[in-house]
Amino acid sequence: MKTVGSRASVSAPWRLASAIPAAVLLALATSAPAQAPWPKADPAPTFHFAPQRNWMNDPNGLVYYDGEYHLFFQYNPHGDRWGHISWGHAVSRDLVNWQELPVAIPETEVMAFSGSAVIDWKNSSGFGKDGKPAMVAIYTGFDPRTRNQSQFVAYSNDRGRTFTPFGKVLDIGSTEFRDPKVFWHEPTQRWVMVVAKATEKKASIYSSADLKDWRHESDFGPTPSSRGINWECPDLFELPVEGGKAGEKKWVLSVSQGNDAPNGSGGQWFVGSFDGHRFSLEPGWTDAPVWTDQGADFYASASWNGVPDGRRVWIGWATNLRYAHAIPTYPARGLMTVARTLSLRREGTAWRLAQAPVRELEKYRGAVHRVTNLKVTQEPKVLPLGESLDMRLTLDPMTAQQVTLNLTDAKGYQLVIGYTPATREIFIDRTRSGPHVHDAFAGRHIAVLPPGEREISFRLIVDRSIAELYAEGGTRTITDRFFRGEGALTWSVSALGGEAMIRSLEAWPIEIKRPLSQQ
């Protein structure tokens, strides 16, 4: 029986653990991949982070310290399916060029589920050493025998390379209590934790003076917009309001939702205020869910603590819980999006979260390929572009009913990125992007642009098996994986039902020269 789109087809990876006895789960997790390596092994992305091998899910412990951005992640060191969950580790000096390091927090009697990391500058925990602050990880320990989920602390005195377990700090006797995001709240001089009471669809707020002793402050949710089986991976941060009153700031609460987002799992977000104790929704906030991305592959997003220039930067796990296990890559299964800078603005009465690839990506741009005033007709015109690039495009649809950029492989499979002027829809269509991956994979994902000029501009990031489309200043994003049948990808552009004009296209190959050990 097919279960496309039904609840049965969507389950958080850890849920398998509650349905299957631990021993069986572990055997499954360490067994050979469920399928033969994808035809010719789908090429690894060049500038998106993927571990060199094995299973990866959520980004964890995002923190900046001493010149390094840390990206820890949910990782199975022993196989390419979910299991033995530990914290993998990568570092970067610029949020783009990542170097994978050994596992930082291994599985013990508990798996190390998602969480966050802080630098304890004031040594409130006493974990600092030799006058240097500790990096403190706060994460969910999942006990496969009891299925209990509680919050654990471990600390590092060597820049995140190794961690000393401190132990359990918060246990409410729940099997659905996970993914603590901790940050320093200056006005109350307290650490704040936002953590999911997952199946209750609550983001629960705790505070602490020392990262060990946690006091419950309040719960946010469920809201009229809550749907699906759960909320996971909450985040809470303050953003300046672009174009707002001088110094105006708002708090953003984001949560990942295990299913019933438009394309399966996804993220939703809220604007409000936060006083260190309680998150209160902005008056008039809509009862409809507001999604972080219109594609299918942006999940478990989390933001960095302590970015030196004050930017708020987040990153997502580029997959969907519907088919995360079926992603046909080998020997690694799991990919992050590019790191994205966030801003908050208004569009009429609506609030918009705008996302843009971090500016550091631009320094990896190779020689530009430029096109101006190119007439586009039904006959596809080939563009001599590569598979890993950063593109800006301004398009006049003129009389066309649809204009598309097509990425075609040697077997004729095609990923289509397009614009339909009548409905002002931008879209990514992966209905025929490659051989069958999973029943829930094929699809067309759309975002609607607000009323405006006939000419539109967008930015497109492509890296071999992922496309990230940013339109309308990044207030509309579509993030989608795709998998080819065979051979190299060829770019072309075409129009349906009339003629269009590419006013300007600039495409830069993104070239990262990694040390040999990282290739």
> Interface with ligand FRU by CB under 6 A: which residues?
12-14, 57-58, 74, 85, 113-114, 140, 178-179, 232-233, 300
Distance of closest approach, residue 20 Cβ to ligand FRU, in angstroms: 15
For residues 74 and 76, give the distance between their C-alpha atoms in angstroms, rounded to a whole number.
Answer: 7
Residue 321 beta carbon to ligand FRU: minimum distance, rounded to whole angstroms:
7
Q: How far is the CB of 238 from ligand FRU (least distance, A)?
A: 24
Strand ranges for 5-110 from DSSP E: 54-65, 68-76, 86-92, 99-105
Give the whole-angstrom CA distance, residue 338 versus residue 47. 8
- Least Å distance, CB 263 to ligand FRU, is 16
CA distance 456 to 351: 21
CB of 142 to ligand FRU, least distance (A): 7
In this complex, which beta carbon is closest to ligand FRU, that of residue 232 or of residue 429? 232
Instruction: Determine if residue 306 is left, alpha or beta; phi over 0 gives left, psi from -120 to 50 gives alpha, anything else beta.
Output: left
Q: How far is the CB of 115 from ligand FRU (least distance, A)?
A: 8
- By CB neighbour count within 10 A (0-12 exposed, 13-18 middle, 19+ buried), where does 284 fall? exposed
Least Å from the CB of residue 107 to ligand FRU: 11
Residue 376 CA to residue 397 CA, distance in Å, equals 9
In one-letter notation, the amino acid at residue 138 is I
CB 186 within 8 A of CB 306: no
In the bound state with ligand FRU, the residue whose beta carbon lies nearer, of 140 and 414, is 140
Of 23, 9, 49, nearest in space to 334 by CA:
49
Answer whether 497's CB lies under 8 Å from 376's CB. Answer: no
Per the residue annotation, which of 58, 120, 293, 480 is the catalytic one?
A: 58
> Strand 54-65 and strand 332-333: pairing?
parallel
Q: Please give the Cα distance from 493 to 380 (Å, whole number).
A: 5
Q: Which residues contact 15 (CB under 8 A, 6 or more apart)?
A: none
Least gap, CB of 196 to ligand FRU (angstroms): 7
Q: How far is the CB of 293 from ligand FRU (least distance, A)?
A: 15
Distances (CA, A) of 262 to 91, 266, 311, 447: 33, 8, 29, 11
Closest contact distance (angstroms) between CB of 145 and ligand FRU is: 16
Annotated catalytic residue 463: no
Identify the residue whose tokens are 């097509």: 406
* H or E segment and range at residue 29: helix 22-30
Contact (CB, 8 A) for 231 and 181: no
Is residue 493 within 8 A of residue 396, CB to CB? The reply is no
363 by Cβ neighbours in 10 Å (0-12 / 13-18 / 19+) ranks as exposed
The residue written with tokens 């001599």 in the block is 384
Looking at the Cβ atoms of 88 and 421, the one nearer to ligand FRU is 88
> How far is it, in rounded angstroms, from Cα 16 to Cα 6?
17
What is the rounded distance in angstroms from the CA atom of residue 217 to the CA atom of residue 330? Answer: 44
Q: Which two tokens stand for residue 193?
A: 């934790």
DSSP code for 30: H
Question: Is there a cis peptide before residue 13, judged by omega within 30 degrees of 0?
Answer: no
Q: Print burial letters for 484-506: b (CB count within 10 Å at least 16), e (below 16).
A: bbeeebbbbbbbeebebbbbebb
Residues forming beta bridges with residue 416, ordered by sequence position = 406, 429
Catalytic residues: 58
